[in-house]
Amino acid sequence: MRIFIVRRILYAFLTVIGGTLVIFALSRMSGDPRVLFMDDYSVIDAEVWDRLGERFHLDDPVPVQYGYWVWDVMRGEFGDSIASQRPVEEVIYPRLWNSIQLGAVAWALGTLVGVPLGVLSAVKRGQFIDYVARAFALFGQSLPSFWVAIMAILIFSGTLGWLPSAGKGEGFAVRHFVLPAIVLGWLPAAGYLRLTRSSMLEVLDSEYVKFARSKGVGTSKVLWKHTFRNALLSPLTFSALLLLGFVTGTTVAETVFAWPGLGRLAVSSVFGNDFPVLSAIMLLLVVLYAVVVLSLDLLYAVVDPRIRYS
Amino acid sequence: MKVSKTTAFDSADTSPLRGTAAGIASWPKKTFFIIRRWPVIPGMVLAALVICALFAPWLSPHDPYKNTLKDRLVPPFWNDGGQAKYLLGTDQIGRDILSRIIHGARVSAVVMSIAVSVGVTIGTILGMSAGYFGRHVDEAIMRIVDTWAALPFIMVALVVVLVLGQSYGVLVGLLALLSWPGAVRLVRAEVLSLRTRDYVSMAKVAGASTPRILFKHVLPSVWNVVLVTASLQMGGIILVEATLSFLGAGIPAPTPAWGAMTSDGKNYVNDAYWVAFFPGMAIFMVVMAGNFLGDWLRDRMDPTIRQIN
């Protein structure tokens, strides 16, 4: 078990190091990182140019530059945002909080809809409710989220005028959350549904469930105690993949709904050549992913002892 | 299990009663049976995609680039003010939407097929190596896969497109990069279980070279998995391509691409729903067809692969 934990922590570290390598490579892809700091029309005087060169240690060999960059990043010094001329942390934190709020609501929505529907669809297999649930999942996985977002705006804020189409509102404005959370939560709901369903069907077909049934254990006890508990493991694994889908989903949902979060900030940083902000966001996401995968692995090992030795 | 209620989703079920329905049924029933059993509709959608992509200039009623400013935002023919000339209406500068969707099929089809084949080929080779050689090779490949999975793809792609410029090459390359890790995981898992099979050991004892074992003995057994991965990737790749083009990092502007067309329609949606609606439907249909086909192939070829994709 100890070897397993050490190994997993090492993996997480390697993932983060790999991530820094790629992000650094992206920043040097255009040859001179200073180019990323300007658009086609900006004018930089020689003094600033030289100062930036010194800031990035451009006279040193590339591996040394990487070393300096990692050192800066480890101390939390991402530099200043190009667009707003403020420290990157200051720019990111409020946005991060907004994204977490939206993400949490959407994730809760996805889980609360997806998992129960998956159970229901497995239990009522081949019946009407099963078709409805699977159609819901199919649509969620096939509809482009930006299109759903636009159509939701058309219907619910344009035609019906029920909900706001953009922005976050003051404080925790529920009305502003509805549309973005549904758009963002549909895909995870679909994933959870399909996975819960197939996993439930598998367990329902297993010997021990059949045995429990033949022994005369009540239906609801078989379902919740014997089946559901064991079927829950595979949707759990999905959570790491879910996070990846979330990053794309948030980027799109925040862009369409003008939500002041990280995803929209990332897009505007790309088009505004704000590389310090962008690299900080990417690194944050890499670390987040590594941590989530690590904790899921450990959680898994606690729940299912067989995994520790594979 | 209720045999009579199985559907296309459950093609993996090989109940002995299934085959008999076709024998005694009348033709409408037979047709329905075939549609349930074979992916007829997804097949037709994908065939339509390929036909549109190949014959776009002959199929489309108008020039997709020609703007007629007096015919701006004409609604589809069944709406008030619609013209039979423009079946699905026109966009904000008076280009025919149907023609643009037909031409847009080219971008989707070309990008998807090249990206998936390149990505899955690379993924298969790496997955076979990881599974077969094991140990350090396996560790190295899997760590790269993990790292790549951790990176926020959409942002990496945006940066790359920004630096290298918008082009088919860049887009296809990026999407191929997106699709290889999935193939590595599935193929590796399959090869891990094949490695210790007798026929592989026999080939080794008989003195077959490693490449020969890999390509002659291992590859034929993972074909199923490769095919299933490729088909499962199709929908996802089209969605990501559309998303990139929606965010403004797809194929450059005048070329019709479905994602960018939806993005164009975004600003007019309250007055002219059709500009955004139809390209989105096109994406939806192709992605759904891809997902259906992938699920069907997976269930048919190897019910043991229960990956979510």
Are B47 and B109 in a shared domain? yes
Instruction: State which residue of chain B sits closest to A194, comparing Cα positions.
Output: B308
The reply to whether residue B150 touches residue A293, judged by beta carbons under 8 angstroms, is: yes
Does residue A246 lie in a domain region? Answer: yes
Stretch 114-143 of chain B: residues touching chain A, C-beta under 8 Å: 143
Q: Where are the alpha helices (DSSP H) in chain A?
A: 2-27, 46-55, 62-74, 88-123, 128-142, 145-152, 174-204, 207-215, 219-221, 229-231, 233-256, 262-271, 275-303
d(CA B40, CA B35): 6
pLDDT at B22: 46
Q: pLDDT at position B4, please? A: 42
How far is the alpha carbon of B26 from chain A, nearest alpha carbon, in Å?
23
The proportion of chain B whose per-residue pLDDT surpasses 90, expressed as a percent, equals 2
Task: Answer yes or no: is pLDDT of B146 > 70.
Answer: yes
Residue pair A22/B144 in contact (Cβ under 8 Å)? The answer is no
Tell me whether residue A189 is in a domain: yes
Based on the fold, state whether residues B80 and B127 are members of the same structural domain. Answer: yes
Interface touch A15/B146, C-beta < 8 Å = yes
Amino acid letter, B14? T
Is residue A146 classed as helix, strand or coil in its secondary structure?
A: helix
Model confidence at B1: pLDDT above 70: no
CB contact under 8 A, A146 and B263: yes
B308 inside domain:
no
B247 belongs to a structural domain: yes
Domain check: are B182 and B108 in the same one? yes
Q: Look at residue A43 in the predicted model and tell me its pLDDT.
A: 67
Strand partners, A80: A87
CATH number (domain holding residue A189):
1.10.3720.10
* CA atoms of B109 and B186, how far apart (whole Å): 24
Same domain, B22 and B115: no
Q: Token digits for A86? A: 């403020």
Closest CA to A165 of A173, A156, A174: A156
Cβ–Cβ gap A15/B273 under 8 Å: no
CA distance A38 to chain B (A): 12
Is A134 inside any structural domain?
yes
CA–CA separation, A49 and B244 (whole Å): 32
Q: Give start and end residues of each alpha helix (H) in A216-274.
A: 219-221, 229-231, 233-256, 262-271
Percentage of chain A modeled with pLDDT above 90: 0
* Residues of chain A found within 8 Å of residue B243, distances taken between Cβ atoms: 144-146, 248, 252
| Interchain contact B266–A (C-beta under 8 A) | yes
- Is B267 a domain residue? yes
Contacts of A18 in chain B (CB under 8 A): 143-144, 146-148, 150
| A140 has a pLDDT exceeding 80 | yes
Structure tokens at A117: 């529907």
Query: Residue A18 carries which side chain, given as an amino acid letter?
Result: G
CB A130 within 8 A of CB A152: no
Give chain B's count of helices (H) and strands (E).
12, 0
Is B276 within a domain?
yes
Domain tally for chain B?
A: 2
> Chain A residue closest to B278 (CA)?
A147
From residue B9, alpha-carbon distances to A138, A232, B28, B235, B294 in Å are 11, 22, 20, 17, 11
**Is A122 a residue whose pLDDT tops 70?**
yes
Residues 6+ apart with CB under 8 A from A19: A282, A283, A286, A287, A290, B147, B150, B151
Asked, for residue B183, whether it belongs to a domain, the answer is: yes
Q: Rounded mean pLDDT of B178-203?
A: 82
Sign of CA pseudo-dihedral B150, B152, B154, B156: negative
- State which of B29-38, B78-87, B174-183, B206-215 shows the largest mean pLDDT: B174-183
> Measured between alpha carbons, how far apart are the two ends of chain A, in Å?
11
The domain containing residue A170 runs over which residues? 98-271
Cβ of A267 within 8 Å of Cβ of B158? The answer is yes
Contact A99, A254 (CB under 8 A): yes
CA angle centred on B88, ends B86 and B90, rounded to 5°: 65
Using the Cβ of B59 and the Cβ atoms of chain A, whether some distance falls under 8 Å is answered with no
Please measure the distance between the N-terminal and C-terminal CA atoms of chain B and give it in whole angstroms. 26
% pLDDT > 70, chain B: 87
Q: Is the same domain home to B165 and B187?
A: yes
Residues of chain A with C-beta less than 8 angstroms from the C-beta of B9: 134
Where does the pLDDT of residue A37 fall: very low under 50, low under 70, confident under 90, or very high at 90 and above? low
Task: Give the pair of three-digit tokens for residue A202.
Answer: 């598998």
Q: Report CB contact under 8 Å: B276, A22.
A: no
Looking at the fold, whether B21 and B107 belong to one and the same domain comes out as: no
Q: Do A29 and B270 touch (CB under 8 A)?
A: no
Q: Amino acid identity of B10?
A: D
Residue A299: the pLDDT is 79
B243 closest CB neighbour out of A16, A144, A199: A144
Neighbours of B290 (CB within 10 A): 26
Is A248–B149 a contact, with Cβ atoms under 8 angstroms apart?
no
Burial class (CB in 10 A: 0-12, 13-18, 19+), B217: middle
Give the domain extent around B236. 40-301
Establish whether this prediction's ipTM goes over 0.90. Answer: no
Domain membership of residue B111 (yes or no) is yes
Residue given tokens 């082009």 in the structure block: B167
- Decide if A287 is inside a domain: no
Distance CA B111, CA B140 (A): 29
* Residue B8 scores a pLDDT above 70: no
Partners of residue A29 in chain B, C-beta under 8 Å: 159-160, 163-164
B73: left (phi over 0), alpha (psi -120 to 50) or beta: left
Q: Are residues B30 and B51 in the same domain?
A: no
pLDDT score for B118: 92
- Nearest by CB to residue B151, choosing from A147, A271, A286, is A286
The Cα A290–Cα A306 span in angstroms is 22
N residues, chain A: 310
Altogether, the residues listed in chain B come to a count of 309
pLDDT digits (tens, 9 = 90+) for A142-175: 888 888 888 888 888 877 777 777 777 666 677 7
Same-domain status, B29 and B178: no
Instruction: Return the amino acid letter for B73.
Output: L
Q: Give chain A positions within 8 Å (CB) of B242.
A: 144, 146
Question: CA nearest B288 in A: which residue?
Answer: A142
Mean pLDDT for the stretch of residues A38-52 = 69
* Domain membership flag for residue A255: yes
Report pLDDT for B12. 44
How far is it, in rounded angstroms, from Cα B181 to Cα A145? 23
The shortest CB-CB distance from B243 to any of A146, A153, A241 is to A146
Residue A191 is assigned to a structural domain of this protein:
yes
Tell me if A29 is assigned to some domain.
Answer: no
Alpha-carbon separation of residue B259 from A144, A194, B11, B250, B269 (angstroms): 9, 27, 33, 8, 15
**Over chain B, what is the mean pLDDT?**
78
Instruction: With CB atoms and an 8 Å threshold, state whether B159 touches A278.
Output: yes
**CATH no. for residue B137?**
1.10.3720.10
User: Is residue A217 in some structural domain?
Assistant: yes
CA dist., res. A218 & res. B39, Å (int): 39
In this structure, is residue B227 part of a structural domain?
A: yes
B126 and B161 assigned to the same domain: yes
Q: How many separate domains does chain A show?
A: 1
**Residue in A26, A127, A141 nearest the CB of B156:** A26
**Nearest C-alpha in B relative to A289:** B150
User: In this predicted structure, what is the pLDDT of residue B11?
Assistant: 42
Residue B13 has φ and ψ, to the nearest 5°, of -65, 125
Q: Do B147 and A267 touch (CB under 8 A)?
A: no
